């Protein structure tokens, strides 16, 4: 039976992925800050015949990450899969963005991933096998205005994953980088939904399709997944024609100025 750790399992993509993996017989260890939601999810998995343990963990807290990772290894025995999914975002201008939140976002989205990967990759290397999944973002490949701090944290995550996919291969560890576009979850609060242009709102994808694609990519030991897949064409356009890409991003994200 396979075993997996999922960070940020209390809602959205992480929660759905937990249910999907549990239904396939994977034994799970779930973490997030909201323990009551993890307890509910573990109960739901247990009632359906699956197995899930959980512990609260703020991934921005280094000591907590290492302590809970140790607990997860003790609980699962061997860890086959780590999904670095915990994260949050905001849409605001850099000039208005509180510097404390910029630091916190980097600590949660990027360093949280570093802490968990550091703890579990060592364990996987000892066993000579494992798979690391990084839930990054399209914003980690193409940065858009009003997402500067978020994009920076996801660019960092993508860079880490890209290097590790080569470095850890010789230890039997595979790395999958997942870059979702806009997915309908609690990630977007009411304010973010209101700020989002109507066309972008209509283009939002449902999390079920993303989770299907993630499970398929895990099975096939793929290295990269962008979802919806068509967005990946943008990476090529950006590499070949950066000026054109910039004007397209600007056009699709900036509201026309009112008045004279
Ligand atoms: N939805 C999208 O459009 C989209 C697009 C690209 C990438 N992503 C990425 O996908 C991942 C999951 O997001 P989602 O869409 O599923 O949003 P979500 O429903 O808000 O889920 C975010 C998860 O991360 C956890 N989390 C947040 N801060 C944490 C912290 N400090 N410590 C531990 N856990 C923390 C939350 O749990 P607690 O609050 O209980 O701690 C929650 O379980 C994020 O990394 C996000 O950046 C999302």
> Within the chain, where are the H helices?
12-23, 35-47, 62-76, 99-105, 112-127, 148-167, 190-195, 198-202, 207-219, 233-240, 242-253
Q: Which residues pair with 6 in a beta bridge?
A: 30, 83
70 part of a folded domain? yes
The tokens of 217 are what? 């990519």
Q: Is residue 259 part of a domain?
A: no
CA 243 – ligand 1 centroid, Å: 32
C-alpha 28 to ligand 1 mean position (Å)? 18
pTM above 0.95, yes or no: yes
What is the count of structural domains for the chain? 1
| Ligand 1, CB within 6 Å, residue ranges | 8-14, 32-34, 37, 57-60, 85-89, 108, 135, 137, 180, 182-183, 185-187
Residue 231's pLDDT is: 95
Count of alpha carbons within 13 angstroms of residue 48, beta-carbon side: 18
Out of 68, 86, 196, mutate this one to test ligand 1's pocket (max ligand atoms within 8 Å of CB): namely 86
The pLDDT assigned to 256 comes to 59
Asked if residue 115 belongs to a domain, the reply is yes
Residues 29, 76: contact at Cβ < 8 Å?
yes
232, part of any domain = yes
Q: Which of 182, 187, 225 to mutate to test the pocket of ligand 1 (most atoms within 8 A of CB)?
A: 187
pLDDT (0 to 100) of residue 252: 87
| Residue 141 within a domain | yes
Question: What does pLDDT average to in each consecutive run of 10 residues of the chain (260 residues)?
Answer: 96 98 98 98 98 98 98 97 97 96 98 98 98 98 96 98 98 98 93 78 93 98 97 97 96 65
What's the pLDDT at 253?
86
Q: Could you tell me the residue range of the domain that residue 189 belongs to?
A: 3-253
Domain CATH code at residue 160: 3.40.50.720
Residue 142 per-residue DSSP state: S
Catalytic residues: 150
Residue 260 lies in a domain: no
Q: Token pair of 117, please?
A: 């990967």
């Amino acid at each position: 039976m396979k075993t997996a750790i999922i960070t940020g399992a209390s809602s959205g993509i992480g929660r759905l992925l937990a249910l999907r993996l549990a239904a396939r017989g994977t034994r799970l260890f779930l973490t997030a800050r909201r323990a009551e939601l993890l307890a509910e999810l573990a109960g739901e998995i247990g009632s359906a015949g699956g197995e899930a343990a959980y512990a609260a963990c703020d991934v921005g807290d280094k000591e907590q990450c290492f302590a809970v990772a140790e607990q997860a290894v003790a609980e699962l025995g061997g860890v086959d899969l780590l999904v670095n999914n915990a994260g949050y975002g905001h849409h605001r201008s850099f000039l208005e963005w509180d510097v404390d939140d910029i630091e916190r976002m980097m600590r949660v989205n990027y360093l949280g991933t570093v802490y968990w990967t550091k703890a579990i990759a060592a364990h996987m290397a000892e066993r000579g096998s494992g798979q690391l999944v990084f839930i990054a973002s399209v914003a980690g490949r193409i940065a858009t205005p009003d997402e500067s701090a978020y994009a920076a944290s996801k660019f960092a995550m993508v860079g880490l994953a890209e290097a590790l996919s080569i470095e850890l291969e010789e230890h039997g560890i595979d790395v999958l980088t997942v870059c979702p576009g806009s997915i309908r979850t609690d990630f977007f609060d009411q304010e973010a939904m209101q700020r989002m242009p109507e066309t972008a709102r209509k283009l939002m994808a449902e999390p079920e399709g993303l989770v299907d694609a993630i499970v398929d990519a895990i099975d096939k030991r793929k290295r990269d997944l962008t979802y919806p897949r068509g967005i990946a064409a943008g990476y090529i356009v950006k590499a070949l024609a950066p000026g054109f890409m910039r004007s397209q991003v600007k056009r699709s994200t900036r509201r026309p100025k009112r008045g004279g």
